[in-house]
Structure 1
Amino acid sequence: MKEPLTTEQLLQGLKHYRRIARQDMLRAPETPHPDAFLRHAESRREVYAALGAYAETHASDEVIEHALELYRQLPFVTGTAEHEHPDIKGRENALENFFLLVGLDPKTRREARSKRPRLSEGVPAQG
C-alpha cells in the first residue's frame, strides 16, 4: 500500500467520486438501460457518502478495513447481464474505486474478494 492518505485527502477523493456518480445519474436517460444505470450510479454515490461519513470519525486505516468488510459481504454477480443487479454492481464498483484511491494492495483486495458469498447465499437481489 502506498503512503496512507490523510482524512482530508480521503474525503476529497470520495467527494470527487460522488461528483462523477452524480454526473452519471444525470446522463442515465441516455443509456440503453436507464433504470439500471441510474441505480448503479445511485449505489456508488451512497457508498461514497457512507465512507465519507465514516472517515469523519475514524482513522484512514479503519475506513479501509470498514470498506474491505463491506466488500466481503457483497455477493458475486459477475457474469450476469449488464443491467441485472445494478445495486450490487454499483456498490462493488464504488468499493473497488475506493481501493484504487487508497492504493490498496491488489493481494488484499483479492483475498477479500475470495471471501464474498455467491448471490444465492448473500443479500436478496435488488433492482
Structure 2
Amino acid sequence: MKEPLTTEQLLQGLKHYRRIARQDMLRAPETPHPDAFLKHAESRREVYVALGTYAESHATEDVVAHALALYRQLPFATGTPEHEHPDLKGRENALENFFLLVGLDPKTRREARSKRPKLQNPAPTG
C-alpha cells in the first residue's frame, strides 16, 4: 500500500465517490435497466457512507482492514447478466473503488477476492 491517507483525505475521497453514486442514481431512468442501475448506485453509496462513518472513529489501516473483511464476505455475482444482482455488484464496485482510493496492493485484493463465497442462487420457481 502506498503512503496511508489521512482520515481527512479518506473522507474526502469517499465523499467524492458518494457524489458520483448520487449522480448515477439521478440518471438511472435514462438507462436500459433503470431499476438495476438505481440499485447498483444506491448500494455503492451505502458502502461509501458506511466506510465514511467507520473512518470517523478508526485509523485508515483499520478502515482498510474492515473494507477487506466486507469484501471477503461478499458473494461473487460476476458472470451473471448485467441487470442481475445489482446490490452485490454495486457493493463489490464500491469496495474495489475504495481499494483504488487507498492504493491497496493488488496482491492483497486478489487474496481477499479468492476467499469470497460463491453466489447461492435460489432454486428456480415454476
TM over 0.5: yes
Within the alignment, does 1:31 sit opposite 2:31 as a pair? yes
Matched to 1:106, the amino acid is P
1:1-127 matches, within 5 Å, as: 1-120=1-120
Q: Percent of aligned pairs with the same residue?
A: 87
TM-score (norm 2): 0.95
Secondary structure of 1:110's match? helix
CA distance in 2, matches of 1:77, 1:26: 24
Inter-partner Cα distance in structure 1 for 2:79 and 2:41 = 19
Q: Distance in 2 between matches of 1:54 and 1:119?
A: 27
Structure 2 CA distance for aligned equivalents of residues 66 and 5 of structure 1? 15
Number of corresponding residues: 122
* Partner secondary structure for residue 96 of structure 2: helix
In 1, distance between residues paired with 2:17 and 2:87? 17
What amino acid is aligned across from residue 27 of structure 2 in structure 1?
A: R
CA distance in 1, matches of 2:97, 2:79: 20
Question: Distance in 2 between the 1:79 and 1:90 partners?
Answer: 14
- Shift of residue 51, structure 1, vs aligned partner: 0.0
Q: Distance in 2 between matches of 1:38 and 1:77?
A: 17
Please report how far the alpha carbon of residue 120 of structure 1 lies from its aligned counterpart in structure 2 after TM superposition: 1.3
Q: Which runs of 5+ in 1 are unaligned?
A: none
Matches of 1:82 and 1:117, distance apart in 2 = 20
Give the structure with higher Rg (CA).
2
Q: Determine the C-alpha separation between the residues in 2 that align with 1:120 and 1:114.
A: 16
